Chain A
Amino acid sequence: MANDATTSMHSEVVAPHDVHEHPWYQRHHFETAEQQREAASFGMWLFLLTEIMFFGGLFMAYLLYRNWYYDAFVSGSNTLSLFLGTLNTVVLITSSFTMACGVWAAETRKKGMLLLFLGITLFLGFVFLGIKGIEYKEKFDLNHVPGAHFDISEFVNPPAHSHEKPLPVDMANRTQIYFSLYFAMTGIHALHMIIGIGILFVLLYKAWQGVYTTGYVQPIENFGLYWHLVDIVWIFLFPLLYLINRH
């Protein structure tokens, strides 16, 4: 009997329950749109925490080996192109700025501006990856990629014009650790960029449909947080990998 009462009560309760006052994007299990927004935002921050722990393992390895093999890290670092690294840093920070502008455009419900800013962010993401690709290619050409073809001759007998300190053979071998970490760290960072770019395409399409300019800002805001995190990771990677002995 009690259960019949439950069922009939249900049909009575749903109708007067302010169904039509809720915004369209509110999921049924949230009491208010505010609760949904807070939950989504909190969830995103927690996810960023897992990302920090994920990169944390790499930073731990970097810390250890940089202390052990400082000279190898300096020599390895000096082979990177300071110009391309700086350029990429500028590109990425600019893309973070345009992403923040995108969040602003969504909040103020400006569809054209949102599309524009997301588009620029997407473009800058591709520019970053392109520049990274050029840098990677150079490493392959110089045989600085860890593995069977890794070549230490440049570190043992540096060309006279480079003003580099020659390394003893065992320390020169340790440059392989530097490049291992260089590829692991920048590679996983680039993978995050690629995932981000994939999501940006989806967001652009939905923004073009007008989904995010009617008050439903959460996906844009959360993606913005993700993009900024990827940016911040790079801001740590840049000095750690490029600027070890360039001050």
Chain B
Amino acid sequence: MSTIVTLPDQTTAKLPKRNYINNEHGLMSWLLTGDHKRIAMLYLVSITFFFLLGGFFAGMVRLELLTPQGDLMSADTYNKMFTMHGIVMIFLFLVPSVPATLGNFVLPIMIGAKDLAFPKINLLSWYLYMAGGIFTIAALVLGGVDTGWTFTTPLSTHYLNTHVVTTATAIFVAGFSSIFTGLNFIVTIHRMRAPGMTWFRLPLFIWSQYAASILMVLGTPVLAISIVLVALERTIGIGVFDPTKGGDPLLFQHLFWFYSHPAVYIMILPGMGVISEVISTFSRKRVFGYTAVAFSSVAIALFGMFVWAHHMFIMGISNYSALVFSLLSMLVAVPSAIKVFNWGFTMQKGSITFETPMLYAMGFLGLFAIGGVTGIFLAALGMDIMLTETYFIVAHFHFVMVGGMLMAFLSGLHFWWPKMTGRMYPESLSKFAAVVTFVGFVLTFFPQFLVGYLGMPRRYHAYPAEYQVLNVLSTAGATVLGIGYMLPILYLGWSLKYGAIAGNNPWQATGLEWQIQSPPLTENFVEIPIVEQEAYDYEWLAHQKEVTTVG
């Protein structure tokens, strides 16, 4: 059943006199805050900075690849560029993006809590993130690092004289930031839910954050220990990964990917949660197959823990384990497909409107589907041996990470922006930005599937001239994509002061976060709400009389 919802008249909306932004003033009130909403804003500013930094490196990579010759930079500089691009984008942007900004902001409100369970640890996680960022910048300023983001041994331990240990420290520290966010979320979801907020009344965003948090807590420590062992091997010469001493470099791969493959799901699961919220809100329908979508998040987390060796099909793991890991990798497609089909069915016969978050969500659906299906190509052993280490892989994970996760992040950012700031972004400009992003993205990365299939290897600064046309297309697309990303930064900043006042619930969405004022009070709820309705209950919302307080 879909319900026709009339959106509220925003011309009468007023900014609340007291909210979390004007509750306290001064820099220190932000730097020492325990308020999850302020910490979310701190994170938002910091990850935007690192996104721009990572984007700069991506731009340099694309610019170098405009021509077949290595004419803009030397091979070593190029190696440093793509390494820094990977490290900054993965550890300092994608992993914390949705959980630490949007999740931090709305997760406690969605479950009816006044804050996360451990506000001080939440703040500590932001400082650890910043410390990780500073170590990364230090490594960059001192001369960069060129191991690739994977720290592959023995390259990283024996053959490079760049700042591997500094970068390793950065990732170790930033990893703890991620662990603490995940730990905080799990405890909050278990122990802080409002009365009546049962597990199956939780918005699906919470389920996906929960699944991602489990992966953060279980996976990140293994990354930490493998990074420690690399650093110990470089500094004091222990030999756990050193073949000359009897160590096995493949063990490093196992330990590293034991985190870094689940990390892919750490990155995408929170984005899937955003898409569930957005598609339901703008279709005015309960998410089709709520339970299936909820459990598919957990299933992705579970299967995702047992597929890591598909990164090593060409590295000498046994044929039998390659078969098993190939099968398990394909199985991840099942819960992912459950989600995509259920989002499709949610829209069926819904009252769909195409506000900006919905446009980004539609972009997500298409791009994530392509990214997911090409993932099955790569999970197939024979195809993988041909396609691995080519641009096909690059295109595949950018479709999932950028086309999927970044679209979801922008969707969620626009969706919750009125709640976070109390103001609307300019609608037509943002719709334009969403379309530009989509077009730019496809133009950048679709040619990479082709050029990868034709055999262009990744991680080289020069290539045979026959690949140039596709590379020029890709670089042109990257320029369009860059404009698509700059636009939101500009108009969202503009809207902080000049945007229309949003009101409490501009989308007529059902989540608890939309039933309180925007921006919220520091303590979120005047009284803790008592939850008596299911998630996405638009009938309940239509018959709500008072929307200022719940319960």
Distance of A183 Cα from B235 Cα, bound (Å): 13
Chain A residues whose CB sits within 8 angstroms of the CB of B220 once the complex forms: 50
Q: When A10-B521, A180-B240 are in contact, do A46 and B17 touch as well, CB less than 8 Å?
A: no
In the complex formed, the residue of A with least CB distance to B191 is A39
* Residues of chain A from 25 to 66 with CB closer than 8 A to chain B in the complex: 27-31, 35, 38-40, 42-43, 46-47, 49-51, 53-58, 60-61, 64-65
Tell which of B163-171, B267-275, B522-530 binds the partner.
B522-530
Q: Is A209 an interface residue (CB 8 A)?
A: no
Taking a contact as CB atoms under 8 Å apart, the answer to whether A177 and B247 are in contact is yes
**Which of A3, A9, A47, A64 meets B17, CB within 8 Å?**
A3
Q: Is A162 an interface residue (CB 8 A)?
A: no
Q: Is A136 an interface residue (CB 8 A)?
A: no
Q: When A6-B549, A53-B221, A65-B246 are in contact, do A43 and B117 touch as well, CB less than 8 Å?
A: yes
**Number of contact residues on B: which range applies?**
35 or more
Chain B 189-224 near chain A by CB (<8 Å), digits 1 or 0: 011100000000000000000000000011111101
Taking a contact as CB atoms under 8 Å apart, the answer to whether B548 and A2 are in contact is yes
**Which of B17, B222, B246, B549 meets A176, CB within 8 Å?**
B246
Taking a contact as CB atoms under 8 Å apart, the answer to whether B548 and A5 are in contact is yes
Taking a contact as CB atoms under 8 Å apart, the answer to whether A177 and B114 are in contact is no
Taking a contact as CB atoms under 8 Å apart, the answer to whether A50 and B179 are in contact is yes
Q: Is B238 an interface residue (CB 8 A)?
A: yes
Q: Is A146 an interface residue (CB 8 A)?
A: yes
The smallest C-beta distance from A138 to any residue of chain B, in angstroms, reads 17
Q: Is A15 an interface residue (CB 8 A)?
A: no
Taking a contact as CB atoms under 8 Å apart, the answer to whether A39 and B117 are in contact is yes
**Which of B217, B239, B526 meets A146, CB within 8 Å?**
B239
**Which of A10, A31, A148 meets B237, CB within 8 Å?**
A148
Chain A residues whose CB sits within 8 angstroms of the CB of B548 once the complex forms: 2-3, 5-6
**Which of B118, B221, B229, B528 meets A50, CB within 8 Å?**
B221
**Which of B119, B191, B239, B523 meets A35, CB within 8 Å?**
B191
Q: Is A184 an interface residue (CB 8 A)?
A: yes
Distance of A88 Cα from B224 Cα, bound (Å): 27
Distance of A197 Cα from B457 Cα, bound (Å): 51
Taking a contact as CB atoms under 8 Å apart, the answer to whether B225 and A55 are in contact is yes
Distance of A38 Cα from B240 Cα, bound (Å): 40
Taking a contact as CB atoms under 8 Å apart, the answer to whether B191 and A61 are in contact is no
Q: Is B248 an interface residue (CB 8 A)?
A: yes
Chain A residues whose CB sits within 8 angstroms of the CB of B237 once the complex forms: 146-148
Q: Is A144 an interface residue (CB 8 A)?
A: no
Chain A residues whose CB sits within 8 angstroms of the CB of B245 once the complex forms: 146, 173-174, 176-177, 180
Q: Is B328 an interface residue (CB 8 A)?
A: no
Q: Is B547 an interface residue (CB 8 A)?
A: yes
Chain A residues whose CB sits within 8 angstroms of the CB of B517 once the complex forms: 2-3, 6
Q: When A2-B504, A9-B549 are in contact, do A146 and B238 touch as well, CB less than 8 Å?
A: yes
Q: When A7-B17, A39-B191, A54-B224 are in contact, do A177 and B240 touch as well, CB less than 8 Å?
A: yes
Taking a contact as CB atoms under 8 Å apart, the answer to whether B526 and A49 are in contact is no
Taking a contact as CB atoms under 8 Å apart, the answer to whether B232 and A184 are in contact is yes
Distance of A87 Cα from B504 Cα, bound (Å): 66
Taking a contact as CB atoms under 8 Å apart, the answer to whether A184 and B224 are in contact is no
In the complex formed, the residue of A with least CB distance to B244 is A173
Taking a contact as CB atoms under 8 Å apart, the answer to whether A60 and B255 are in contact is yes
Taking a contact as CB atoms under 8 Å apart, the answer to whether A53 and B222 are in contact is yes
* Residues of chain B from 162 to 190 with CB closer than 8 A to chain A in the complex: 179, 183-184, 186-188, 190
The smallest C-beta distance from B226 to any residue of chain A, in angstroms, reads 6
Chain A residues whose CB sits within 8 angstroms of the CB of B187 once the complex forms: 39, 42-43, 46
Q: Is A211 an interface residue (CB 8 A)?
A: no
Q: Is A203 an interface residue (CB 8 A)?
A: no
Chain B residues whose CB sits within 8 angstroms of the CB of A42 once the complex forms: 187, 190-191
Taking a contact as CB atoms under 8 Å apart, the answer to whether B183 and A57 are in contact is no
* Residues of chain B from 462 to 497 with CB closer than 8 A to chain A in the complex: none
Taking a contact as CB atoms under 8 Å apart, the answer to whether B222 and A54 are in contact is yes
Interface of A is mostly: helix
**Number of contact residues on A: which range applies?**
35 or more
Chain A residues whose CB sits within 8 angstroms of the CB of B158 once the complex forms: none
* Residues of chain B from 1 to 33 with CB closer than 8 A to chain A in the complex: 14-18
The smallest C-beta distance from A35 to any residue of chain B, in angstroms, reads 6
Taking a contact as CB atoms under 8 Å apart, the answer to whether A46 and B186 are in contact is yes
Q: Is A69 an interface residue (CB 8 A)?
A: yes
The smallest C-beta distance from B252 to any residue of chain A, in angstroms, reads 9
**Which of A6, A29, A57, A72 meets B255, CB within 8 Å?**
A57
Distance of A57 Cα from B256 Cα, bound (Å): 10
Q: Is A188 an interface residue (CB 8 A)?
A: yes
Distance of A72 Cα from B245 Cα, bound (Å): 12
Distance of A202 Cα from B258 Cα, bound (Å): 36
Q: When A29-B523, A43-B183, A54-B221 are in contact, do A2 and B547 touch as well, CB less than 8 Å?
A: yes
Q: Is B251 an interface residue (CB 8 A)?
A: yes
Q: Is B236 an interface residue (CB 8 A)?
A: yes
The smallest C-beta distance from A197 to any residue of chain B, in angstroms, reads 20
Chain A residues whose CB sits within 8 angstroms of the CB of B549 once the complex forms: 6, 9
In the complex formed, the residue of B with least CB distance to A146 is B238
The smallest C-beta distance from B188 to any residue of chain A, in angstroms, reads 8
Q: Is B384 an interface residue (CB 8 A)?
A: no
Distance of A72 Cα from B186 Cα, bound (Å): 43
The smallest C-beta distance from B218 to any residue of chain A, in angstroms, reads 6
Distance of A39 Cα from B528 Cα, bound (Å): 18
Taking a contact as CB atoms under 8 Å apart, the answer to whether A180 and B255 are in contact is no
Distance of A43 Cα from B219 Cα, bound (Å): 17
Taking a contact as CB atoms under 8 Å apart, the answer to whether B239 and A176 are in contact is yes
Chain A residues whose CB sits within 8 angstroms of the CB of B225 once the complex forms: 54-58, 188
Distance of A35 Cα from B15 Cα, bound (Å): 34
Taking a contact as CB atoms under 8 Å apart, the answer to whether A177 and B221 are in contact is no
* Residues of chain B from 253 to 298 with CB closer than 8 A to chain A in the complex: 254-255, 258
Distance of A31 Cα from B117 Cα, bound (Å): 11
Q: Is B138 an interface residue (CB 8 A)?
A: no
Q: Is B228 an interface residue (CB 8 A)?
A: yes
The smallest C-beta distance from B527 to any residue of chain A, in angstroms, reads 6
Q: When A43-B117, A49-B217 are in contact, do A184 and B222 touch as well, CB less than 8 Å?
A: no
Distance of A43 Cα from B239 Cα, bound (Å): 35
Chain B residues whose CB sits within 8 angstroms of the CB of A38 once the complex forms: 191
Q: Is A21 an interface residue (CB 8 A)?
A: no
Chain B residues whose CB sits within 8 angstroms of the CB of A4 once the complex forms: 17
Chain B residues whose CB sits within 8 angstroms of the CB of A72 once the complex forms: 246
Distance of A226 Cα from B192 Cα, bound (Å): 24
In the complex formed, the residue of A with least CB distance to B119 is A29
Distance of A190 Cα from B225 Cα, bound (Å): 15
Q: Is A181 an interface residue (CB 8 A)?
A: yes
Q: Is A13 an interface residue (CB 8 A)?
A: yes
Q: Is B113 an interface residue (CB 8 A)?
A: yes
Distance of A39 Cα from B116 Cα, bound (Å): 10
18 contacts between A and B (CB under 8 A): A6-B16, A7-B17, A9-B526, A28-B114, A28-B523, A30-B192, A39-B117, A43-B117, A50-B217, A51-B221, A53-B221, A56-B222, A56-B225, A57-B226, A60-B251, A173-B246, A177-B245, A184-B229
- Apart from A42-B187, A57-B255, A146-B238, list 7 A-B contacts with CB within 8 A: A27-B119, A54-B225, A60-B254, A65-B247, A180-B239, A180-B240, A183-B238
Give 3 nearest A-B pairs by CB, closest first. A57-B225, A180-B238, A147-B237
